[in-house]
Structure 1
Amino acid sequence: MSDFEIISDISDVELIARGPGIRDIARLNREYGRGNWRKVKGTALLRLNSGRLRRAELHWYEAHGIGKREMKRKCYLE
């Protein structure tokens, strides 16, 4: 279970890597199914388990027809 809840839209979305540029591509295909995988980053407002609101940078993997997987909070922006 994650330690945060996303309470705003994800903005400033940028592509980090796609296809063979992703180190975990074999694992992603095995766990979630074959797809056109992309590693993406963006920013959003989060509600932490403590109730505090923080803006943070998020990283995740996504593929068409599969959706967003393995969302991680990388750093706080405030």
Structure 2
Amino acid sequence: MSELPKIIGQVCAIETIAEGNGIRELHQLRQRYGQGTWRKKKGIAAVENFNGEVAMAEIHWYEAHGIGKVKLKIKRWL
């Protein structure tokens, strides 16, 4: 079983790209994680790859106050 990629350091250049009803998965987020003011965010971070290399990547995730970051995914390598 392989490990998931790991974020090294902090995420920078954070932007909100959708919030509230603008989020396609809002119903599923609320069912799984609970009510909250959900926002979809993106940022840039150093990510350790499966083979141990570290590279910059654009990452996307959802977050809500009191719940935190969920469904983190790498969108593209920079």
- TM-score band, normalised by shorter chain: over 0.9
Q: Secondary structure at the match of 1:23?
A: coil
State the 4+ residue runs in structure 1 displaced beyond 6 angstroms. Answer: none
CA apart distance, 1:8: 1.4
Q: Secondary structure at the match of 2:9?
A: coil
5+ long unaligned stretches in structure 1: none
Q: How does 1:1-78 map onto structure 2 within 5 Å?
A: 3-77=4-78
TM-score by length of 1: 0.94
5+ long unaligned stretches in structure 2: none
TM-score by length of 2: 0.94
Q: Secondary structure at the match of 2:27?
A: helix
Paired residues, number: 77
Letter in 2 for 1:49: F
